[in-house]
Amino acid sequence: MNNLYDAPFELDHQHVFLGEGHDKNERKTWAVIVLCSAMMLAEIIGGHLFGSLALVADGMHMSTHAGAMLIAALAYTYARKHANDNRFVFGTGKLGDLAGFSSAIILAMIALLIGYEAVVRLLSPIPISFSEAIPIAVVGLLVNIASAWLLSGGDHHGHSHGHADGAPHDNAAHDHGDEAHIIKTSAGVFVLSIFEDGVSPVFRIHAETTDANLSPGEMTVTTVRPEGTRQLFSFAKKADFLESTTDIPEPHAFKALVTLARDVHSVAFEEHAHHPENDGIDRRDHNMRAAYVHVIADAAVSVLAIIGLLLAKSFGWLWMDPLAGLVGALVIANWSYGLIRDTGANLMDVSPNDVLPSKVRAIVNSAGDKLIDLHVWRLGPGHFGAVVSVVTQETTHGPAFYQRLLRKVTGLSHITVEVHTPQSV
């Protein structure tokens, strides 16, 4: 008999997988476009009024800079406006990666163009109008510094994915939600975890089987810390779970002696990182990263150009200007390669590391079941999807059982569970 289940726990849920700073990054990118466009118009108009071809050329260069920013800004705006569009099966979180990939291609083309021009000028040096070129390079550098300042300061972390049942998807800075312990007793199967989502940390216990019925008076937890200190925790009824009446003091590394229906069980809790950037979850906003790289690359080229022009003017080394351009081209090409590699991997659903898969395996193993298939991929900054196939002999370990456990894992925002019996595989 095939006893296959394939249904998400939430019957009605959203697919909004945008980064936490999405709206703020969108506004910053449009601000940079306004700045670059103003500078572009000033240089082109000024160049025509004063007969400066160098000013016109730099203005045209600034237009390509604004165009690259426009790709990022439009991606932010489109992703936000269509975040709830059902045509996007897994939301619009990957539009940032697509925009970043496109920007990286443009960067690579700019690097090739600068490199080609530098080689041509090394082979055939041309006269340089230092009085015009140096001030323009300085102004360009100042504009890029201002643009970098506008784009900086973003902590492109993911945000929690809201579920229709109102269950918390723990993304707190100090989160133990992914460390859940399954406890099997004569009174049923329960899950014990530490809950800390904008509140003081407390123990929570959920019943995982329909026959499990536990009153607060039948449960206690005694923590035993490495130095031997013990603390007893009592519980109170809260909706469909029990919660400790006393907060858990830091640190959260201890052995917990759990008394359930007169049975005593021992489980271990480990201290987790206090900063989300240390949990191995990729929260990078590659769209903002690409925009920032564009600005920094332009600033680097401006710095190298100023150095090359000053040396060429002081010592007559005309070759210094194209040499500086060649070095700049190599730097830009390196940054472009990094962007193409990372955004391309996300677009092709390459799993970035084993952090989330290892947590899923640990949960399945702790339940005493067998994991036969697992797919984890990035949906957007800080958001990951997972398809989990499990073989179990426990009639109570259905999709809902694993949804309750897996939705506590920080970073897993969309989970589909298949549960098989041994006869169905």
Instruction: Give pLDDT tens digits for 119-162.
Output: 887 887 766 666 666 777 777 778 878 888 888 764 433 333 33
Phi, psi (degrees; rounded to nearest 5) at 417: -120, 130
Contacts of 114 (CB under 8 A, 6+ apart): 301, 325, 326, 328, 329, 332
| pTM, to two decimals | 0.64
Quick one: CA dihedral 128, 132, 137, 140, positive or negative?
A: negative
Is residue 182 within 8 A of residue 219, CB to CB? The reply is no
Overall number of domains in the chain: 2
Contacts of 60 (CB under 8 A, 6+ apart): 40, 44
Q: Looking at 307, 326, 347, which one is the last position of a domain?
A: 347
Give CA separation, 240 vs 213, 276, 286, in Å.
10, 29, 40
Task: Collapse the DSSP code of 409 into the 3-class scheme (helix H, G, I; strand E, B; otherwise coil) and give the result.
Answer: coil
Question: Same domain, yes or no, for 150 and 293?
Answer: yes
The answer to the question of residue 112 being in a domain is yes
Question: Same domain, yes or no, for 104 and 234?
Answer: no
Query: Smallest Cα–Cα separation from 287: which of 55, 100, 51, 67?
Result: 100
Question: Same domain, yes or no, for 298 and 267?
Answer: no
Q: Looking at 327, 347, 367, which one is the last position of a domain?
A: 347
- CA pair distance 245, 35, nearest whole angstrom: 55
pLDDT in tens, the chain (425 residues): 333 443 444 444 566 777 777 888 888 888 888 888 887 787 678 666 655 555 555 666 677 777 888 888 888 888 888 878 888 878 888 888 898 899 889 888 888 887 888 888 788 776 666 666 677 777 777 887 888 888 876 443 333 333 333 333 333 334 444 467 888 877 778 888 888 765 578 888 888 776 667 777 778 899 988 777 889 999 988 877 888 988 888 777 788 898 876 788 888 887 654 445 545 677 888 888 888 887 887 777 777 777 777 777 777 777 777 777 788 788 888 888 988 998 998 889 887 778 888 888 888 887 888 899 999 988 888 889 899 999 988 888 888 888 888 887 888 888 899 998 876 65
Long-range contacts of 123-129 (CB under 8 A, 24+ apart): 125/318, 125/319, 125/322, 128/309, 128/312, 128/313, 128/318, 128/321, 129/54
Query: Smallest Cα–Cα separation from 65: which of 89, 92, 38?
Result: 38
pLDDT of residue 233: 92
Helix residue ranges per DSSP H, 82-199: 95-123, 130-151
- Give the domain extent around 88: 14-156+283-347
The answer to the question of residue 81 being in a domain is yes
Q: Looking at 347, 373, 392, which one is the last position of a domain?
A: 347
CB atoms within 10 A of CB 24: 16
